[in-house]
Amino acid sequence: MSGGQDSVTEFIAGIVPLIEAKTDSNGTIPVKIIDAGWGSSGYYSREVLQQAANDRVYAAGLQMYWNHPTKTDEKERPERDLRDLAGVLTEDARWDEQGPKGPGLYSRAKIFSAYRDAVAEMGPYIGLSHYVWGESKQGEAEGKKGDIITRIAAARSVDFVTVPGRGGAIAEAFRAARPPVPTDEQKTEAGKSMVGEKPEKLTLESLRKEHPEIVESLRKEIENSAAVKEAQAQQEKKLKETETALEEAKAENARLKEALLLVEAKTFVEEKVKDATIHDFVKARIVESLSKSPVVKDGKIDEQAYAAKIEAAIKREAEYLANLGVGKVSGMGAGAPTEKTLEESEKTLEERIKAFGGI
């Protein structure tokens, strides 16, 4: 187990004795899962264990196996061996300050028939150990330094294990308790004995009657799955709404920037043409035309290039007016003045425009 601050890890806790090995009529026994103190993986405080109970880490339906998996088991059969499934918790674990074996997390466990005799016989000499994921940090408790468990996140199982110091005899007894693998001859004999027999049909009703804890566990799993899917759907909906709002905001921002740029362009063009000695009608036409197509660089008006464009437009208008013999134009280098005064030029221009139906 890593001792890093808030590290996520997988660990196996210390051993806690069974309360009583003898099963009741329903095949269940009371068990104490764990209490506060130093375990093989670190120190478990009362608060951490109480929080685990509140978080339903040890929920009804949690599986119980005959021994923890070995490293080889974890690699070759991470889903565990079905022949080692010895029971399940039948109720959520709870913190009991006045428990018969002292303060700790308590529950009840349904022991499957293949293991009931073994548990009843070895109950006083064996214990339970949980197999969980959690978080830890380096620290000190009860005068000892080491890994301090800060949170138990999830449980894989609560398993029957030997008590340290009991030696090989108990270990042999554990191995003997596992239902043996049938030989080929036994399989053949079993097949012959079943010829002509109609197997009992498994129904939901029979499952509810014989294994209510499994039905309850499946129901909770389905509810949790539905809740997770609903939460994911809501999250995706909010994300989509946020993305849509962001795109709309970007589009609006672009529109505002464009509008502001056109306003700046119109002001710029007006400033450039105001001193040109040309008819106001021509000035207005240049402003209207060029303010709609500003020269832009890096999102801003390129003043030098834009001014050149405006000057070229004024020059063209000036040359056009000069060709018509309409007055002189000054202020932008449009050419030499004509003999007509500005007033005469404007009057002539108006008359020509009227002749073409312009005014």
| Domain boundary pick from 133, 156, 181 | 181
CB 17 within 8 A of CB 129: no
Amino acid letter at 107?
S
The per-residue DSSP string of 278-305 comes to: S-HHHHHHHHHHHTTS--EETTEE-HHH
Give the whole-angstrom CA distance, residue 4 versus residue 11.
14
Please count the structural domains in the chain: 2
Please indicate whether residue 100 or residue 210 has the higher confidence score (pLDDT): 100
Q: pLDDT at position 53, please?
A: 93
Residue 58 clears pLDDT 90, i.e. is over it:
yes
Confidence of residue 96 (pLDDT cuts 50, 70, 90): very high
- Helix axis angle for 212-273 and 280-290, nearest 10°, is 160
* Each residue's pLDDT tens digit, 244-286: 999 999 999 888 988 888 898 889 888 888 888 777 888 888 8
**176/290 same-domain check:** no
For residue 10, the 8-state DSSP code is E
Q: Is residue 136 part of a domain?
A: yes
| Domain boundary pick from 181, 206, 236 | 181
* Each residue's pLDDT tens digit, 195-239: 444 555 667 777 777 778 777 887 887 878 777 888 888 888 888
Q: Is residue 223 part of a domain?
A: no
**41/161 same-domain check:** yes
> Averaging pLDDT over each range in 119-123, 259-263, 321-325, which range is the top one?
259-263
**169/283 same-domain check:** no
Q: Is residue 212 part of a domain?
A: no
| Domain boundary pick from 143, 158, 181 | 181
Per-chain mean pLDDT for the chain: 77
Q: Is residue 119 part of a domain?
A: yes
Q: Is residue 2 part of a domain?
A: no
How much is the average pLDDT of 312-320?
83
Q: pLDDT at position 166, please?
A: 31
Q: Is residue 216 part of a domain?
A: no
Containing domain of residue 16, as a range? Answer: 7-181
Q: Is residue 193 part of a domain?
A: no
Give Cβ neighbours of residue 153 (< 8 Å, ≥ 6 apart): 8, 57, 132, 133, 134, 135
Q: Is residue 218 part of a domain?
A: no
Q: pLDDT at position 150, please?
A: 92
Give Cβ neighbours of residue 353 (< 8 Å, ≥ 6 apart): 281, 359
Give the whole-angstrom CA distance, residue 299 versus residue 265.
12
Residue 151 clears pLDDT 70, i.e. is over it:
yes
User: Residue 142: left if φ>0, alpha if ψ -120 to 50, beta else—which one?
Assistant: left
> Which is nearest to 176 in space by CA: 113, 115, 264?
115
For residue 149, the 8-state DSSP code is E
Please indicate whether residue 151 or residue 176 has the higher confidence score (pLDDT): 151
Give the whole-angstrom CA distance, residue 68 versus residue 129.
8
